[in-house]
């Protein structure tokens, strides 16, 4: 059986290599590819997708798995071998339900949609993107139908990012935390608002780049293992072992967008770079789930990057970089400003107290698009209505409204809940970490992040995708994904900032 397992692993390794090539082409499309190359790029990626799908669903793989599944019955269910077989079987069963033509179709649709989204967002004109969105939603509906029966049609999409989780699970969690977050937001609204005007002035981009490169290297992102480029929507992507790249965007007139996006994407990169090389190109390589990935990006962005200890250590240096902008701004004023709580149109710029509401809105919209209760042509109007219902504000245009996220153009329906779940997981992990490393505030204050990164590596990264998200979170924290720790974190932090 060792020989058969090696055969399976060899096939899986080839699938990873094709996937890494697709990632490189996707990274280039979002960073440097000329617009005129979009159609040809789509054809290349579609061809790679068809080759990968054909190889992954071959009768040879099916036969190997039939024998290996029986072999795994006598293995420790948590052993690497058993989990490789389990994950491979799960992936095979999913892929064999999807015709190769649909794999290629999805790639062509999303490649064109990504370029259409860019143009639509630049011109703030949803009508440019609408025909692409029609195809994406239609594809999602047909894709879901393949997997009947299901408890909820959205389960099929959600499971792609959060293995073994159900729509009912995430709705239950959201229903629990939403009134608590709303209550906190209302309590804050009754207090005097903090001042943040000094964050909205000129911050030369070259200086931003210098600060960002310095900070992400200090956090643990080794430039030998990645690079930083500009994209319309920040993202992190793995091109292969030891090569995880991040992208950011700059706003010369606002301090926050680049700085916190850089830390956010660095969190993603360090998770991916921390996965053991021993499992490289096997079925237990990669992240446990999108929510676990988001737990790391949000943890480094917010629990570290927006914490008081972080800026107690770094703020004097920031003042040296920006003496005119911050020379007369106290640390306390700065700390409160970067943590200001107020409804925001842009999800990626939303504060911690309101961020999850953006995700709850998107979940509601996606479910509506999938079941047909929301029509694609009505999406801008529906979006504006929902954002007003959730946050009490209305987008002045499509660019900062329905077109603000790249995800739908990439076909990532079912992904958004992972962002909020990542917030909840990050707080649960933080509470647990503090029990093991009670002096973490002092370490962060002194610019020492190696112990924190080491803890995350030992608890999360080392497992790769060996466990499902609920399993891994429970192994680390003692309970499945819930929002209690996150609510405690919000109440403590913003209670102090706003004197609640």
DSSP for 444-484, written as a single string: HHTT--HHHHHHHHHHTGGGTTSS-HHHHHHHHHSS-S-SH
For residues 96 and 147, state if they share a domain.
yes
The pLDDT of residue 349 is 87
Residue 159 within any structural domain of the chain = no
pLDDT value of residue 136: 97
Last residue of a domain, one of 152, 179, 209: 152
Helix, strand, or coil (residue 243): strand
Cα–Cα distance for residue pair 61/79, rounded to 1 Å? 21
Residue 84: inside a domain: yes
Which H or E element spans position 145?
helix 126-146
Asked whether 344 and 355 are in contact (CB, 8 A), the reply is no
Asked if residue 242 belongs to a domain, the reply is yes
431 and 355 share one domain: yes
Which of 8-22, 130-144, 380-394 has the lowest average pLDDT?
Answer: 380-394
| Strands 243-248, 228-230: pairing kind | parallel
pLDDT digits (tens, 9 = 90+) for 225-272: 999 999 988 999 999 999 999 999 999 999 999 999 999 999 999 999
Six token digits for residue 414: 């079912």
Q: Is 237 found in the same domain as 147?
A: no
With 90 as the cut, is the pLDDT of residue 348 above it?
no
Instruction: Look up the domain containing 134 and give its range.
Output: 2-152
The pLDDT, as a whole number, for residue 233 is 86
pLDDT of residue 169: 95
With respect to residue 162, please indicate whether it lies within any of the assigned structural domains.
no
**Tens digit of each residue's pLDDT (9 = 90 or more) over 186-232:** 999 999 999 999 999 999 999 999 999 999 999 999 999 999 999 98
* Residues 7 and 133 grouped into a single domain: yes
Judge if 433 and 364 occupy the same domain. yes
The verdict on 106 and 252 lying in the same domain is: no
pLDDT digits (tens, 9 = 90+) for 23-32: 999 999 999 9
Average pLDDT over residues 470-494: 97
Q: How far is CA 262 from CA 15, 338, 374, in A?
A: 30, 15, 35
Which CATH number fits the domain that encloses residue 386?
A: 1.10.1370.30
Say if residue 171 is in the same domain as residue 143.
no
What was the pLDDT predicted at 232?
86
Among the options 265, 294, 352, 366, which is catalytic?
265
Q: Where a domain ends, among 152, 182, 216?
A: 152
Whether residues 430 and 474 fall in one domain: yes
In a domain, 228, yes or no: yes
The per-residue pLDDT for range 100-138, each reduced to its tens digit, is 899 999 999 999 999 999 999 999 999 999 999 999 999
Residues 123, 251, single domain; the answer is no
- Identify the pLDDT of residue 387: 93
Could you tell me if 294 and 414 lie in one domain? yes
pTM of the predicted protein model:
0.94
Is the same domain home to 269 and 377?
Answer: yes
**Calpha distance 457→422 (Å, rounded):** 17
Residue 362 lies inside a defined structural domain of this protein: yes
Average pLDDT over residues 332-339: 98
Residue finishing a domain among 95, 121, 152: 152
Domain count, the chain: 2
The DSSP symbol for 328 reads T
10 and 58 in a single domain? The answer is: yes
Instruction: Tell me if residue 474 is catalytic.
Output: no
Residue 161 lies in a domain: no
Please report whether residue 443 resides in a domain: yes
For residue 250, is it left (φ>0), alpha (ψ between -120 and 50) or beta? beta
**DSSP assignment of 387-437:** HHHHHS---SSSTTTTTS-SGGGGT-TT-THHHHHHHHHHHHHHHHHHHH-
């Amino acid at each position: 059986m060792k020989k058969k397992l090696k055969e399976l692993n060899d096939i899986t390794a080839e699938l990873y290599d094709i996937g890494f090539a697709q990632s490189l082409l996707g990274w280039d499309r979002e960073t440097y590819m000329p617009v005129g190359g979009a159609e040809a790029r789509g054809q290349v990626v579609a061809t790679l997708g068809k080759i990968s799908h054909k190889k992954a669903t071959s009768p040879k793989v099916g036969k190997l798995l039939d024998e290996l599944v029986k072999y795994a019955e006598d293995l420790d269910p948590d052993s690497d071998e058993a989990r490789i077989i389990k994950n491979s079987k799960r992936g095979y069963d999913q892929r064999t339900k999807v015709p190769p033509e649909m794999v290629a179709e999805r790639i062509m649709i999303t490649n064109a949609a990504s370029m259409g989204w860019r143009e639509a967002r630049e011109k703030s004109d949803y009508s440019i993107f609408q025909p692409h969105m029609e195809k994406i939603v239609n594809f999602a509906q047909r894709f879901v139908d393949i997997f009947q029966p299901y408890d909820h049609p959205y389960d099929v999409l959600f499971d792609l990012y959060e293995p073994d989780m159900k729509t009912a699970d995430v709705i239950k969690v959201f229903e629990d935390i939403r009134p608590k977050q709303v209550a906190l937001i209302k309590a804050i609204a009754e207090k005097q608002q903090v001042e943040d005007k000094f964050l909205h002035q000129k911050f030369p981009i070259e200086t931003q780049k210098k600060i960002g490169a310095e900070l992400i290297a200090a956090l643990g992102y080794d430039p030998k293992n990645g690079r930083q480029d500009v994209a319309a929507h920040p993202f992190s992507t793995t091109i292969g072992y030891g090569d995880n790249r991040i992208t950011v965007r700059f706003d010369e007139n606002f301090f926050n967008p680049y700085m916190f996006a850089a830390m956010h994407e660095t969190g993603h990169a360090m998770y991916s770079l921390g996965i053991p090389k021993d499992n490289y190109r096997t079925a237990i390589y990669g992240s446990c789930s999108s929510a676990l990935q988001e737990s790391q990006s949000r943890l480094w962005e917010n629990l570290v990057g927006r914490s008081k200890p972080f800026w107690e250590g770094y703020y004097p240096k920031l003042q040296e970089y920006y003496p005119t902008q911050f020379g007369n701004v106290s640390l306390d004023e700065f700390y409160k400003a970067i943590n200001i709580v107020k409804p925001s149109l842009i999800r990626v710029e939303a504060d911690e107290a309101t961020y999850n509401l953006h995700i709850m809105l998107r979940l509601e919209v996606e479910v509506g698009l999938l079941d047909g209760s929301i029509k694609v042509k009505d999406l801008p109007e529906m979006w504006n209505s929902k954002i007003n219902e959730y946050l009490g504000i209305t987008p002045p245009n499509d660019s900062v409204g329905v077109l603000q996220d790249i995800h739908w153009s990439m076909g990532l329906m079912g992904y958004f809940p992972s962002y909020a779940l990542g917030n909840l997981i990050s707080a649960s992990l933080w509470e647990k970490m503090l029990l093991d490393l009670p002096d973490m505030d002092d370490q962060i204050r002194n610019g020492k992040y190696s112990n924190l990164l080491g803890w995350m590596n030992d608890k999360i990264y080392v497992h790769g995708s060996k466990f499902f998200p609920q399993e891994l979170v429970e192994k680390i924290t003692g309970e499945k994904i819930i929002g209690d720790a996150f609510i405690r974190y919000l109440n403590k932090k913003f209670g102090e900032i706003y004197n609640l």
